[in-house]
Structure 1
Amino acid sequence: MLTDKIHLPDDLEPTPEDIMSSSLSVIFPDDIQNQHGDSHTSPTYLSPLYGPLTLSLADPKTETSRTLFSHFLWNASVLLAEYLEEGPFPLFETRDCSVLELGAGTGLSGMIAALRGARRTVITDYPAEEVVANVEVNVKTNLRERGRGGDVEVWGHEWGVLGEVEDNGVSKRYKGGFERVLVADCLWMPWQHSNLRKSIAWFLTPSPKSNSSTSPPKRDETSSIPPHHHPPSPTHPYTPSDGGRAYVIAGFHTGRAKMAPFFDAEAMRGDGLVVERIWERNAEGTEREWRVDRGEEDKDVTGRKRWLVVGVVRRVGEGE
């Protein structure tokens, strides 16, 4: 179970919200916790390879910061961290890559990429002081103070604000500079889809043309080891010919209708991107093909919380 990788402190006095949240599993047996912790409760990600990572959560000071919901750890971040850590490889390889995380929240995925051996890691979120400072705390606690993770930077970045002085020159400096871009649970704001796509396209390195798929990766497309249990291996390093890839994962808790337009082929191409592969996975690890609409299933709020979409995105190739 995906949520088994998350541990919350046992010695805290439960709040009314905690009691209500925990009771949902009794009232609704199929319900699943899809957000973890708050500004007063630090969840721990139980990494099978790198040990426990304690994640501080931001205490939002403004209405804008609060409505971004970066002050929780979401299941999409947990799943992306799992893919980066356990594979399948080389599809989710970040070793020796330059890696950027957008809308980082806790910075979990970026830190896992750094621990795995990324050549350079830049972790970004909305440029609110408390949000960026919180990511800095997590990087310091889990990487720098332990002398691991290599070259990691933390910056504020507002999606779609590119090549301008407002972002301290980050976008201008790093244009086309990342072989891997990480995006977790950032699709619930349809009005920001184009800005997010533009940021992905801006930062991502060019990619050769490749076939697309709406099905989960097959075992023979990755390795002979079962998916999600592939240990890090120097036999699957990143090579420049692979081109840049963005991993975009999001939970369906806010509704498929809000998220699906992000992957619209025409809108993607208009912002310089193409979906190379896309599929769905639930918290138990079951995978299935991607669909824009699943009818009555999408109306079941409890059921859809268990599912996430996983997309692998690249830049449109030259002459494509």
Structure 2
Amino acid sequence: MALAARISPAGPETSDPEDLFASSLGVIFPDDVTNMHGDPDHALLYKSPHLPRPIKLALADVKTEEERFLFSHHLWNASLLLAEFIEAGTLGLEIPWTRGIAAPLGSFDVSALRTIELGAGTALPSIMAGLLGAKGVVVTDYPSPPVLKTLRENVTASVKEASAPSGRFAAEEVLVEGHGWGELDTPLAEGNRHAFDRVIAADCLWMPWQHDNLRRSISWFLADAESARAWVVAGFHTGRQKVSAFFETAALAELGLEVEHMWERDCDGKDREWVTDRDSEDISERKRWLVVGVLRRIRKPAQEGEQRP
């Protein structure tokens, strides 16, 4: 099934020429893939056969150039992919999966875990986690009033027991807070250092000047435990070099992090090995693919005679 097959527009039909042109691109260019979805006037419905009702995702109505530059007012394919992984991993579903390339699908199980999402946009992965059994869910994005307002609306409307599969809902805490990456002297950061079993970042790598701050926030919030993981998923629409730079080994190691798994997946569920350069790849091909990175704490060497759990 194609990655975007579960989403559809919600709300009135559009007559805006720009929207009509964007919606027709798939007909004009059948090989082209849409990697961002929605606009402030047309919310999205995310329909899963495993949820009792659709998830309605409003898009932030941003006004300033600074807010628009963040691109938080769209749903990106990276969020769709993480939502799919969380659902399949937690519910034990069968989806296309290439063993030996991808991380174990079961490792995306969020049951009884605490999660935090950075740069959440619409918060779809966090909403899915909250519906399927995460114990605590914290959703963050840049502290822009319209972005946070929309996030709160989405989370409040969807993360509730009536919208969850029977017997799955376990959320004890669901919060939406502003967080600028790397800003670790705020009440949110000071009260939640190493507090989360899973840190989520979907399509947050297109600003290389923010990579260090994003790595710092991931390391700060990620639990100091062998089982803790960060999921970093991003599209290649702004180029492979920007994406690759975030996963630079030395930069991660400075913060006590390392890559456990890293691979590529396309919008139709095909997996392949991660590489830093594909010379023959044009922009249409790049838009079809995403990188999936699973980060963990650097493991300390076991002492002689010591056995790992």
Q: How would you bin the TM-score normalised by the shorter chain?
A: 0.7 to 0.9
**Alignment partners' CA distance in 1, 2:114 and 2:254:** 25
In the superposition, relative to structure 1, how do residues 29 and 143 fare at CA in structure 2: closer, same or farther (>3 Å)?
same
- Equivalent in the alignment of 1:90: 106
Q: Size of the alignment, in residue pairs? A: 280
- Equivalent in the alignment of 1:80: 82
Asked if 1:204 is matched to 2:233, the reply is: no
1:293 to 246, 271, 277: 277
- Equivalent in the alignment of 2:101: none
- Equivalent in the alignment of 2:62: 60
**Alignment partners' CA distance in 2, 1:147 and 1:251:** 29
Distance apart, 1:258 and its partner CA: 1.5
Q: Is the 8 A contact 1:185 1:251 kept in 2?
A: yes
2:146 to 90, 115, 130: 130
**Alignment partners' CA distance in 1, 2:273 and 2:205:** 19
Distance apart, 1:32 and its partner CA: 1.1
Secondary structure at the aligned position of 2:175 is classed as strand
- The TM-score with structure 1 as length reference comes to 0.83
Unaligned runs of 5+ in 1: 209-242
- Equivalent in the alignment of 2:189: 171
Moved more, 29-38 or 87-96: 87-96
**Alignment partners' CA distance in 1, 2:225 and 2:261:** 14
Instruction: Kindly provide the amino acid, as one letter, of the partner of residue 147 in structure 2.
Output: V
Distance apart, 1:106 and its partner CA: 0.7
Deviation string for 1:160-218 (max 9, x for gaps)?
001x1xx3x0001000000011110000001111100110000001243xxxxxxxxxx
Q: Is the 8 A contact 1:206 1:317 kept in 2?
A: no
**Alignment partners' CA distance in 2, 1:115 and 1:145:** 7
Deviation string for 1:90-148 (max 9, x for gaps)?
21111110111111001111111111101111111111111111110001111249476
Distance apart, 1:63 and its partner CA: 2.2
Secondary structure at the aligned position of 1:295 is classed as coil
In the superposition, relative to structure 1, how do residues 35 and 147 fare at CA in structure 2: closer, same or farther (>3 Å)?
closer
Q: Is the 8 A contact 1:198 1:272 kept in 2?
A: no
**Alignment partners' CA distance in 2, 1:40 and 1:197:** 34
In the superposition, relative to structure 1, how do residues 71 and 191 fare at CA in structure 2: closer, same or farther (>3 Å)?
same
- Equivalent in the alignment of 2:181: 159
In the superposition, relative to structure 1, how do residues 119 and 145 fare at CA in structure 2: closer, same or farther (>3 Å)?
closer
Q: Is the 8 A contact 2:222 2:230 kept in 1?
A: yes
Secondary structure at the aligned position of 2:10 is classed as coil
Secondary structure at the aligned position of 1:101 is classed as strand
Q: Is the 8 A contact 1:194 1:271 kept in 2?
A: no
Asked if 1:280 is matched to 2:298, the reply is: no
- Equivalent in the alignment of 2:72: 70
Equivalences for residues 2-21 of structure 1 within 5 A: 2-9=3-10, 11-21=12-22
**Alignment partners' CA distance in 1, 2:31 and 2:178:** 37
**Alignment partners' CA distance in 2, 1:281 and 1:199:** 25
Distance apart, 1:255 and its partner CA: 1.1
- Equivalent in the alignment of 1:29: 30
Query: Percent identity, aligned pairs only?
Result: 48
Distance apart, 1:89 and its partner CA: 3.8
**Alignment partners' CA distance in 2, 1:108 and 1:10:** 19
Asked if 1:262 is matched to 2:250, the reply is: no
Instruction: Kindly provide the amino acid, as one letter, of the partner of residue 12 in structure 1.
Output: E
Q: Is the 8 A contact 2:78 2:202 kept in 1?
A: yes
**Alignment partners' CA distance in 2, 1:97 and 1:91:** 12
**Alignment partners' CA distance in 2, 1:175 and 1:185:** 23
Q: Is the 8 A contact 2:131 2:161 kept in 1?
A: no
Q: Is the 8 A contact 1:207 1:316 kept in 2?
A: no
Distance apart, 1:10 and its partner CA: 7.0
Distance apart, 1:269 and its partner CA: 1.0
Distance apart, 1:80 and its partner CA: 0.4
Distance apart, 1:17 and its partner CA: 1.8
In the superposition, relative to structure 1, how do residues 133 and 145 fare at CA in structure 2: closer, same or farther (>3 Å)?
farther
Deviation string for 1:17-63 (max 9, x for gaps)?
22222332233221011111111110111123223100011111322
Distance apart, 1:275 and its partner CA: 0.6
Q: Is the 8 A contact 1:249 1:309 kept in 2?
A: yes
Equivalences for residues 39-50 of structure 1 within 5 A: 39-50=40-51
- The TM-score with structure 2 as length reference comes to 0.86
Q: Is the 8 A contact 2:120 2:201 kept in 1?
A: yes
Asked if 1:252 is matched to 2:254, the reply is: no
Q: Is the 8 A contact 2:6 2:48 kept in 1?
A: yes
Unaligned runs of 5+ in 2: 90-103, 303-309
- Equivalent in the alignment of 1:103: 119
